[in-house]
Amino acid sequence: MSLEDLPPDPAPDGGPDGGPGSAPGHAGVEDSPGGVRAALEAVLMVVDEPVPEEQLAAVVGLPTARVRELLHELAREYDGYTRDGGTLPVRGFELRQLAGGWRVYSRAAYSGIVSQFVVDGQTARLTQAALETLAVIAYRQPVSRARVSAIRGVNVDSVVRTLAQRGLIKEVGTDPVSGAFLYRTTAYFLERLGIGSVDDLPHIAQHLPGLENLHDFDDASL
């Protein structure tokens, strides 16, 4: 999930790093269960690329400096350390700062278990939502999640992650205008269908509810 479409709340006086007039927290965020830390975790759990501190600060309506401090606290907590120097059980995931942003990743120590889960998942049947999303990507590739969502009329972030984990689709660069990641089907996808190229794709769209008019969508209208 990208945060590009979430508008930041402007700070009427002062910059994003704090100081007089910095933007106040969003209504309800600090009073919600778990407070701002939990709100940051909720956002970090659904993104699939590192998110800059400034964007996270805009989402929760706090100064960037404060959000940076909270992110470091969360990272230490996941690594098994409390704010007062105590210890906690190490979590199976970690919060990393890289590529100019922050993102939650599975801890390397559990890579074998995660890999086995992904491999085992190959034998599970795809849901109707996954089949419809895969069909859109197959017939409209290369395509961004936003375009797939526009065609299907629902959020497809989690479904796209599932398809990528199963090796059926992959990232193939970014859109030159929006900068969004673009997706294509993989060789494994073709292998599973028993065809040699996407040109041999069967006309299955008409058999999937809601996608009967898939080929009628104009990219310019999305």
The dihedral region occupied by 16, where left means phi > 0, alpha psi between -120 and 50, and beta the remainder, is alpha
Structure-token match 């907590």, residue found:
77
The full set of domain ranges for the chain reads 1-110, 122-221
Q: How far, CA to CA in Å, does 68 sit from each of 51, 87, 90?
A: 12, 22, 21
Paired strand residues for 183: 143, 171
Closest by alpha carbon to 92, among 106, 77, 111, 103?
A: 106
Alpha carbon 127 to chain centroid, angstroms: 19
Domains 1-110 and 122-221 alike in fold:
yes
Question: What does the block give as tokens for 109?
Answer: 């120590």
Measured on CA atoms in the order 111, 107, 131, 190, is the torsion positive or negative? Answer: negative
pLDDT tens, position by position, for the chain (222 residues)? 444 444 444 343 344 444 433 444 455 677 777 899 999 999 998 787 889 999 999 999 999 999 999 999 999 999 999 888 888 899 999 999 988 899 998 898 988 887 777 666 655 678 888 988 998 999 889 999 999 998 888 889 989 999 998 889 999 999 898 889 999 999 888 888 878 888 887 765 554 545 555 555 554 444
Cis (ω within 30 of 0) for the bond into 50? no
Location of structure tokens 């933007």: 23
CATH architecture of 1-110: Orthogonal Bundle (1.10)
- In whole angstroms, give the CA distance from residue 40 to residue 47: 11
Domain 122-221, second-level architecture: Orthogonal Bundle (1.10)
CA distances in angstroms from 169 to 21, 82, 174, 212, listed in the order given: 46, 39, 15, 22
Side-chain half-sphere exposure of 100, counting CA atoms within 13 A? 3
- End-to-end Cα spacing for the chain: 18
What is the arrangement of strands in the sheet containing 181-185, beginning at the earlier edge strand? 143-144, 181-185, 169-174
Single pTM value for the model: 0.51
What pLDDT sits at residue 201? Answer: 78
Q: What is the DSSP string of 52-84?
A: -HHHHHHHHT--HHHHHHHHHHHHHHHTTB-TT
